[in-house]
Amino acid sequence: MTMPRYLTKSRFKLALECPTKLYYTKKEDYNDLKIEDSFLEALAEGGFQVGELAKLYFPGGILVSELEYDIALEKTQELMLRENVIIFEAAFTFKNLFIRADIVIKQGNNIQLIEVKSKSFDPNKPIDSFLTNDGSIRKKWRPYLYDIAFQKYVLCNSYPHFSTRSYLMLVDKNKPATVDGLNQMFFIDRKDLRKVILIGGAANGNPTIGSEILIKENVDHIVDVIHTKYQDLEGTSYSFQERLDFLSEKYQKDEKILENLGVKCKNCEFKTSVNPPTKNKKSGYHECWSLLANFRDIDFNKPHILNIWNFSKRDQFIRDGKFFKSDVTKADLGTNNSKDKTGLSRIDRQELQIDKAVNNDKTAYLDYTGLNIELKRWKYPLHFIDFETTCVAIPFNKGMYPYDQIAFQFSHHIIYENGIIEHCNQWINATPGHFPNFDFIRSLKTSLQKDTGTIFRYSPHENTILNVIVRQLQVSDESDKKELIDWIKTITKSTSSNADKWCGERNMVDLMEVVLKYYYNPYTRGSNSLKDVLPAVLNSSPYLKDKYSKPVYGNEIKSLNFDQQIWITLDESGMVINPYEKLPLIHEGISNESLDELVTDEELGIFDGGAAMTAYAKMQFSVMTSAERDRTVNALLKYCELDTFAMVLLWEELNNNCKTVSAR
């Protein structure tokens, strides 16, 4: 039997990103870079736990577990005949639209439509948290509010004689857990994602969930505005009804919708990594740019405006038909108002990136003078650290708050003044249900307190996490909390959100800031992610190529996880293969890079740690054999070790170049 081509709420959300994606989605002949692993997506988002907790707030609810559209609709209709009923995963349809509602509460002719989201919410803010000062919807809330607006539209048209109110059920960031073990009450079954394994009191029908940490917020006032005026990402307004009719008709007929190109295209999942695309897989990205911008194969290889770092005018330039870096002048970049006169400013860096791309100059830029000043400030032995962290919606322990940061792993490399490099220490927690932060910080302190050498991190993340642990220690009952807090403050600086201000005498050096000020490598194509900087540095460095094309790592250089590892190997075009591609897969069949992208979250500052976060969630919230757990731990140890070794390689290249120039 042919399945109907309903415009479901998930496809509607895809159309919010770009309506053209409706045509490419779920077609085997189009390449799709997005992970289609619902088990990993559920773990990464944490939504399955929040969803199950929400159900416990509504005892007596009936689950519509049937997957087939017709059967699910029929069962829902039967339940809706009752005077009073609570339904989980209720199915509704109108025209060619279909939804599954998380929770529907029917009391007579009144309906509550509740969409459960694992997103944090602060109900104490003085203004509407969903809206900006000018009344527009905040970008981070847009997908959720349009989602519930879509659902309410379908439900109201399915049951027009009922009064329907719409709610988002969110995680109240101000509500601490009042019981231990709440985090470990729900496990997910990878074989059947609709089956959640309940343990503890929940398994016996007597859940000990304590005070509610989820909050139900009425959003009718915003949904009513959306129903009046649908607005796309470019700010174009439509009638909500007409827009849904248009999208559903096009999807039903399998017709492509061609609308504006823009920054949204940069991370399009429907593209191939080669140009022109292979015959085996089509590229939706290539098709769009060919049709809307008249791109030829040669144009896809030109330096594109989408890759200019931190350039806010990209959408405007694309609307004006300016697609390439060669179309951008220095005047377009704006005025340099930076108060910091050292190193590259934003505009300097953008201009450097554009010039090198347009002139096909692959040589790296290095400000030797500025970098040498930095080098003289650093004290041996040099320490390089990296943390793997996560923040889970449901707290581990009584008194903890939702989305408190969890530090579950670190890696530590040292470079001594005599040039010896070693991977000297690491720590990981793989025990389900154990809050690791205080053991983590004790181990880190033991590792770093033996001397006063300079400590390096890459990005602000490690400093932010240590600030969070200070706050957690302050309200804890740990007997050594003062000692730990005092030590943390010696290697960090306070964040803006911390009322207590400090800057430690051994405050960590951010290597990303060093790169941004003094170094630019064209092979990064404007990215400052360490996972892009590393292969760029290796491709540009004869010194590193020669040294690490031999099995010195895990041999002459001490490693805790690698044995005689050769890091430099070349692909068919003579380019260095990214060392991250040599790592074991954290989840079988899916690249670690794809897992990183799965949970990239600008709001949380997570850009490269998604693979580790997903692995940790898998160890915490799914049933695993001991062999599976061991494989995951071993993969995580290698993953984190490479993060700190990548910093070592970056330092080696910068230091070697400065020495070479000084010797001339």
Residue 210, phi then psi, degrees to nearest 5: 65, -155
pLDDT at 588 over 80: no
In one-letter notation, the amino acid at residue 487 is: W
Residue range 520-549: average pLDDT?
94
More confidently predicted of 563 and 609 = 563
Residue range 335-363: average pLDDT?
86
Q: What is the pLDDT of residues 390-435, one digit of tens each?
A: 888 888 888 889 988 999 999 999 999 999 999 999 999 988 888 9
- What pLDDT shows up at residue 1? 45
SS3 519: strand
More confidently predicted of 49 and 292 = 292
Q: Is the peptide bond before 522 cis (omega within 30 degrees of 0)?
A: no
- What pLDDT shows up at residue 4? 75
Q: What is the pLDDT of residues 542-559, one digit of tens each?
A: 999 999 999 999 999 999
- What pLDDT shows up at residue 126? 61
Q: Where residue 606 falls among pLDDT bands split at 50, 70, 90?
A: very low
Structure tokens at 29: 């002949």
pLDDT at 288 over 90: yes
pLDDT at 511 over 80: yes
pLDDT at 205 over 60: no
Q: Are 343 and 374 in contact (CB under 8 A)?
A: no
Q: What gap in Å lies between CA 433 and CA 462, rounded to an integer? A: 23
CATH topology of domain 7-26+35-177+210-253: Lambda Exonuclease; Chain A (3.90.320)
44-48, 273-277, 468-472 — most confident range: 468-472
Hey, how many other C-beta atoms are within 10 angstroms of the C-beta on 107? 11
- What pLDDT shows up at residue 280? 78
Q: What are the extents of the domains in the chain?
A: 7-26+35-177+210-253, 263-340, 362-664
Q: What gap in Å lies between CA 253 and CA 119, rounded to an integer? A: 35
Residue range 220-249: average pLDDT?
88
pLDDT at 562 over 90: yes
Share of the chain above pLDDT 70, in %: 89
Q: Where residue 584 falls among pLDDT bands split at 50, 70, 90?
A: confident
Task: Round the average pLDDT of the chain to a whole number and report it.
Answer: 89
pLDDT at 172 over 50: yes
Q: What gap in Å lies between CA 67 and CA 85, rounded to an integer? A: 21
Share of the chain above pLDDT 90, in %: 66
Instruction: Find, among 102, 223, 217, 81, the residue nearest to 162 by Cα.
Output: 81
Residue 213, phi then psi, degrees to nearest 5: -110, 0
Residue range 63-67: average pLDDT?
91
- What pLDDT shows up at residue 125? 79
Residue 217: strand pairing partners:
168
Q: Are 233 and 266 in contact (CB under 8 A)?
A: no
Q: What is the pLDDT of residues 84-119, one digit of tens each?
A: 999 999 999 999 999 999 999 999 999 999 999 988
Q: What is the pLDDT of residues 363-402, one digit of tens each?
A: 999 999 999 999 999 999 999 999 999 888 888 888 889 9
Q: Where residue 339 falls among pLDDT bands split at 50, 70, 90?
A: low
Q: Are 421 and 649 in contact (CB under 8 A)?
A: no
* Residues with Cβ within 8 Å of residue 84, at least 6 apart in sequence: 106, 107, 108
Q: What is the pLDDT of residues 351-372, one digit of tens each?
A: 999 999 999 999 999 999 999 9
pTM of the model: 0.90
Q: Are 110 and 184 in contact (CB under 8 A)?
A: no
Consecutive H or E run containing 351:
helix 346-358
Residue range 42-50: average pLDDT?
72
Residue range 509-522: average pLDDT?
95
Q: What gap in Å lies between CA 461 and CA 405, rounded to an integer? A: 11
Residue range 30-59: average pLDDT?
78
Q: Where residue 187 falls among pLDDT bands split at 50, 70, 90?
A: confident
What does the H/E/C string look like for 114-167?
EEEEEEEECCCCCCCCCECCCCCECHHHHHHHHHHHHHHHHHHHHCCCCEEEEE
Structure tokens at 566: 């050769």
pLDDT at 499 over 90: no
Lowest mean pLDDT, pick from 116-120, 274-278, 310-314, 558-562: 274-278
- What pLDDT shows up at residue 186? 78
Q: 522: alpha, beta or left, given left = phi > 0 and alpha = psi -120 to 50?
A: alpha
pLDDT at 2 over 60: no
* Residues with Cβ within 8 Å of residue 524, at least 6 apart in sequence: 532, 533, 536
Q: Are 262 and 318 in contact (CB under 8 A)?
A: yes
